A = this chain, B = another copy of it.
Amino acid sequence: MIDFLKQNITKHISLSDKELTDFCSLFQSKIIKKKSFLLREGEICKFEGIVIKGLFRVYHIDNNGFEQVLYFAMENWWITDMDSFTNEKPSHLYIEALEDSEVLLISKQDKEFAYTNISKIEKLFRVMTQKTHIALQRRMIDNLSKTADQRYAEFIEKYPQLYQRLTNLQIAAYLGISHEFLSKIRKKIYTKK
- Name which residue of chain B comes closest to A83, CB basis: B134
In the assembled complex, the CB of A126 is this many whole angstroms from the nearest CB of chain B, namely 4
Whether A143 lies near B143 (C-beta < 8 A) is yes
C-alpha gap A117/B47 in the complex (Å): 31
Cα separation A145 to B80 with both chains bound (whole Å): 21
Name the residue on B nearest A146 (C-beta): B62
Evaluate whether A70 and B140 lie within 8 angstroms (CB atoms) in the complex, with A132-B133, A133-B133, A134-B86 already known. yes
Question: Measuring CB to CB, which residues of chain A are less than 8 angstroms from any residue of chain B?
Answer: 60, 62, 64, 66, 68, 70, 82-83, 86-87, 92, 115, 119, 122-123, 125-126, 129-130, 132-134, 136-141, 143-146, 176
